[in-house]
């Protein structure tokens, strides 16, 4: 893919999917996502939430990489391409 097209894809992801907001204003939106994740876990997965609390494990300790990379940080590059393709096809 040419550089200009790749940049356009980056801009689309950052603006249309609000990924840019995660990086703005001292990561305020990212911290909001952590809060939402913890509340969802507390409601939907209380045993796991309590286990994490017992370990003093907070969402920012494990989830920041997930949110900032659209959950692709630990996948092989070929799989990341498919994930991004699916995201952009919606």
pLDDT of residue 17: 83
Between 72 and 79, name the one with better pLDDT: 79
Q: Enumerate the domain spans of the chain.
A: 3-89
The single residue listed with the structure tokens 């940049």 is 7
How do residues 47-70 score in pLDDT, each as one tens digit? 999 999 999 999 999 999 888 887
Which tokens sit at 88?
């952009």
How do residues 2-50 score in pLDDT, each as one tens digit? 899 989 988 988 888 888 888 888 899 999 999 999 999 999 999 999 9
pTM of the model: 0.73
Question: In the predicted model, is pLDDT for residue 90 greater than 80?
Answer: no
**Which residues are within 8 A (CB) of 49 and not within 5 positions of it... i.e. 6 or more apart?**
38, 41, 42
CB 72 within 8 A of CB 84: yes
pLDDT of residue 46: 97
The CATH label, of 3.40.47.10, 1.10.472.80, 3.20.20.140, 2.60.40.10, for the domain at 3-89 is 1.10.472.80
- 63 three-class SS: coil
pLDDT of residue 30: 93
User: For the chain, what is the total number of helices (H) and then of strands (E)?
Assistant: 6, 0
- Tell me the C-alpha to C-alpha distance, in Å, between residue 64 and each of 1, 51, 61, 77: 29, 19, 7, 19
């Amino acid at each position: 893919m040419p550089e200009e097209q790749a940049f356009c894809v980056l801009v689309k992801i950052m603006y249309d999917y609000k990924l840019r907001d995660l990086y703005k204003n001292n990561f305020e939106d990212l911290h909001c996502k952590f809060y939402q994740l913890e509340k969802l876990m507390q409601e939907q997965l209380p045993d796991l939430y309590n286990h994490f609390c017992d370990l003093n494990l907070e969402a920012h300790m494990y989830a920041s990489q997930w949110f900032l990379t659209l959950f692709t940080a630990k996948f092989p590059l070929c799989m990341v391409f498919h994930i991004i393709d699916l995201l952009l096809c919606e």
